[in-house]
C-alpha cells in the first residue's frame, strides 16, 4: 500500500465496517441506459467484496445482460436522528456470477431464509468486484476510496478455509463465550446467540427471535491472519467479557 496515507487506510477500515455489518443495500443497474435501483439482500466475502443471491427473473439481473457495471449503496444512518449526519458508502464495481459453495454458505448464514430458494436453478450467487467507493462519514467527511483501501489487504485464504470449523467449535464448545460476546461486549439482550461467520476483521452473531433474526458484529482489535490468530483473539475477548469490561 505504498503511498497510502494513514487517513486513507482508516477510511477504508470504516467503509468495510459498513459493508460487513449490512444485511441489505440499494443496487443500481442500467435499464436501457437509465438508472434502475432496487433493494437486495447482501453478505460479503472475507475481503469485504459484496455477495448477492439473485433470481434470473429479477429486473436487476436481466439488466446485467447489457452491462455488469453496478453500484451499491450501504446505509449506516439508521440510528442517527439526522440521517444526513450518518455514514453511507456508494460502491462502484462489476457483478460477477460466482458458483461457489463456500460463499453460498456464507450468504445463507446471514440470510437463513435464503435456503428455501438458494438451490433453485434460476437463482445464482454474484460477487461484486469493487472498483472504488464514495464514502460519506458525516458532514464534511466525504471522499473517494480506491479499491486498494476498500478491500482487505493480504491473504484471507487461511481464515476462509478454517471458518466453518471455527464457527462450529465456538457454537458447540464455547456457547457461553458467544453469549457473553453478545450480552456484555455488544450490549445485545437475549439468549440463543450463535456465531455465524468470522473474517480477518471480526465475526458475526445471530439470534433467531419470533420477529425474525437479530444480528451483531464484533470487530477485532487487530486483523487476524490464521486460525491461531483467531484463537488468541477470541480468548482475549472472552477474558474481557468475563471481566465485565
**E strand or H helix that includes residue 128:** strand 123-138
145 shares a domain with 106:
yes
Query: What's the whole-model pTM score?
Result: 0.91
Domain that holds residue 41: 6-150
Report whether 47 contacts 135 (CB < 8 A): no
229 shares a domain with 112:
no
164 shares a domain with 93:
no
**Low-confidence winner among 13-17, 35-39, 110-114 (lowest mean pLDDT):** 110-114
**Low-confidence winner among 29-43, 72-86, 227-241 (lowest mean pLDDT):** 72-86
pLDDT at 189 over 50: yes
For residue 59, the model assigns a pLDDT of: 95
177 shares a domain with 112:
no
SS3 239: helix
What average pLDDT does this structure show over 147-162?
Answer: 93
What is the distance between the terminal CA atoms of the chain, rounded to a whole angstrom? 35
For residue 9, the model assigns a pLDDT of: 78
For residue 78, the model assigns a pLDDT of: 86
63 shares a domain with 95:
yes
Domain count, the chain: 2
**E strand or H helix that includes residue 69:** strand 69-75
Give which of 171, 241, 173 is closest to 204, Cα–Cα.
171
DSSP code, position 222: S
76 shares a domain with 180:
no
For residue 3, the model assigns a pLDDT of: 56
For residue 1, the model assigns a pLDDT of: 42
For residue 4, the model assigns a pLDDT of: 62
What average pLDDT does this structure show over 196-207?
Answer: 97
CATH code of the domain containing 202: 3.20.180.10
28 shares a domain with 59:
yes
In a domain, 1, yes or no: no
For residue 245, the model assigns a pLDDT of: 54
CATH code of the domain containing 125: 2.30.110.10
Amino acid at each position: 500500500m505504498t503511498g497510502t496515507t494513514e487517513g486513507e487506510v482508516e477510511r477504508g477500515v470504516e467503509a468495510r465496517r459498513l459493508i460487513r455489518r449490512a444485511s441489505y443495500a440499494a443496487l443500481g443497474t442500467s435499464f436501457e441506459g437509465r438508472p434502475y435501483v432496487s433493494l437486495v439482500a447482501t453478505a460479503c466475502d472475507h475481503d469485504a467484496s459484496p455477495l448477492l443471491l439473485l433470481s434470473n427473473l429479477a429486473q436487476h439481473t436481466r439488466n446485467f445482460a447489457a452491462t455488469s457495471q453496478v453500484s451499491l449503496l450501504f446505509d449506516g444512518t439508521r440510528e442517527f436522528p439526522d440521517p444526513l449526519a450518518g455514514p453511507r458508502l456508494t460502491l462502484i464495481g462489476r457483478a460477477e456470477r460466482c458458483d461457489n459453495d463456500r460463499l453460498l454458505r456464507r450468504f445463507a448464514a446471514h440470510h437463513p431464509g435464503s435456503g428455501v430458494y438458494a438451490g433453485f436453478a434460476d437463482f445464482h450467487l454474484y460477487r461484486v468486484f469493487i472498483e472504488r467507493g464514495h464514502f460519506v462519514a458525516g458532514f464534511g467527511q466525504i471522499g473517494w476510496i480506491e479499491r486498494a483501501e476498500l478491500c482487505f489487504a493480504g491473504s484471507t485464504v487461511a481464515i476462509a478455509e478454517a471458518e466453518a470449523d471455527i464457527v462450529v467449535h465456538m457454537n458447540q464448545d464455547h456457547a457461553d463465550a458467544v453469549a457473553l460476546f453478545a450480552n456484555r461486549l455488544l450490549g445485545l439482550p437475549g439468549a440463543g446467540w450463535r456465531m455465524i461467520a468470522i473474517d480477518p476483521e471480526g465475526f458475526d452473531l445471530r439470534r433467531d427471535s419470533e420477529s425474525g433474526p437479530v444480528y451483531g458484529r464484533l470487530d477485532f482489535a487487530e486483523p487476524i491472519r490464521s486460525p491461531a490468530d483467531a484463537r488468541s483473539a477470541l480468548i482475549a475477548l472472552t477474558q474481557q467479557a468475563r471481566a465485565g469490561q
